[in-house]
A and B are shown apart, each in its own frame.
Chain A
Amino acid sequence: MTDPSDAASEVKDFCETFERIRAEMGKMMVGQREIVDGVLVAFFAGGHVLLEGVPGLGKTMLVRTLSEAVNLRFSRVQFTPDLMPSDIVGTNMIVEDEHGRKSFQFQRGPVFANILLADEINRATPKTQSALLEAMQEHHVTVGGTQHQIEQPFLVLATQNPLEMEGTYPLPEAQLDRFFFKLLVRYPSSDELQMILDRTTASDVPAIVNVLHSAEEVLRLRQLVRQVPLAREVQAHAVHLVMSTHPENKEASPLAKRFVRYGASPRGAQALILAGKIYALLDGRYHVSRVDIEKAAPAALRHRILMNFEGEAEGKTSDHVLAEILQNRAG
């Protein structure tokens, strides 16, 4: 792609693809536009998504619909306290061939899929949660000293229930940081709920059309996203936002200074930029603006900011801190 006109057509193709996937998902998902957009942005940015919401809001449906729309392999793991890491990544099993010789053969776990739904991820023990770390970041797993590559694209969509905290294991910070976005699934409105009831009880389930036909197509679009130019000043703005979440930094906001224990990591800044690029393309621009960065900030940074004891006691969340930072930027 050296010709600007080719680039323009590819960008156009990206936007159309995005819109079509969104439309296909809209067949199954009523409302939740921000969630759908967020998942798609993370999907094209090459990141993973943590969905937080009460049960029954369509989180699993969202993931399933996405996998069908993009025509990629989908697997689901229901995380429970007794789930073992091998249950996710796979294990070496003794198999006997036709000559009666026995040997170890690696049996792939559910992680070997393009889209993995880790349902109620906080119910598994930290040991099991950590089994996803390598897969999420390095896109491979190591079992018995042998690395097993995970096919690209690879997207982990994890869900967690914010209400039932008993018997759960909060995700460790290292693993939280590996999620590109954390999206809060809100309860549907009355109209949306009625529409859900109409769709699920009165008629047949609509068929999902494959928008993308191969994984290569996804990777090509991902590559396009990374080529979107970004001015140095806009990048500095992203850095500034991230630094504002650090309480020890002189640019920190008052709330961050008081209630934040640790600010967002560099991965947060990467997420801001990549998401900003996709938002810019969706907005019909070929460059990233500060508005795109700020649009991505809540989803990209909220799980990367750790509140201190005082903040938790005061009922302050990372969203409060981010809202103040963004308001200060706008002012």
Chain B
Amino acid sequence: MQENNTRQSEEYNSATAVLCSALNVDFHGIRVLSNIHIAFRRNAITSLIGEEGSGKTTLLRAINRSNEEFAASDTSGTVYFNGSNLYAPATDLAALRRKIAYIFPEPRPFPVSVYANISWAARFHKMSSDLDRLVEESLKEGGLWDELKDKLRRPASTLSPGQQQRLCIARALALKPEIILMDEPASSLDALSAGRVESLIRQLKTSYTVIVANRSVQRASRISDYCAFLQDGSTVEFGDTGDLFLNPKDPRTEQFLSRSMH
């Protein structure tokens, strides 16, 4: 136990945003994530790659504790964020989810106006007394201000899917998170919209830590600084994206990459 704690304290330093250690997640008694140990770097983009069902989404959701909201799950192990274990009983889930935002694979704007989409959760968290400014800043960060500054009262449902997805990202940014979890954020978009979302993700890493689940290894190689390859709920390999793609250490990684790239 002491050895484990020492190892964690060595790995958890100022460059680490989130540290998952011996993380296991079971759904209805079936193990979906097994002994995950990854230190996600601050202000970097980390991609989770792997086959469908490898545990990418479950790992993302374990980091902001939304697994337990969506299904009967049992989590063991630790996830360190800002020096404390997120799975400690006293964790304030509302504050945690404000700090660790989650973006769904498909755009899910609320069927209200653009303005209300951004300000709705911000009102709950009492983020700012000047909501107009908050909306403007968030839309600027989301790369939507120029497109939508005259359409703030327009229903979000009238936007294109790409704009809707960027609006969802802007909605999360309005809560001033530290980490943004993205679950295949461009998978339901056309190539042009996906490209815009990719460039937005690259811009975001200057201010935020971004963890992205990617089914597309090409996209992962384009946008990420670090990559983790998951298979059957376990981490096979984790490291610098260039190293992992060019010199994979594990033969399973090599097989997966060669299958996915061709």
A binds B: no
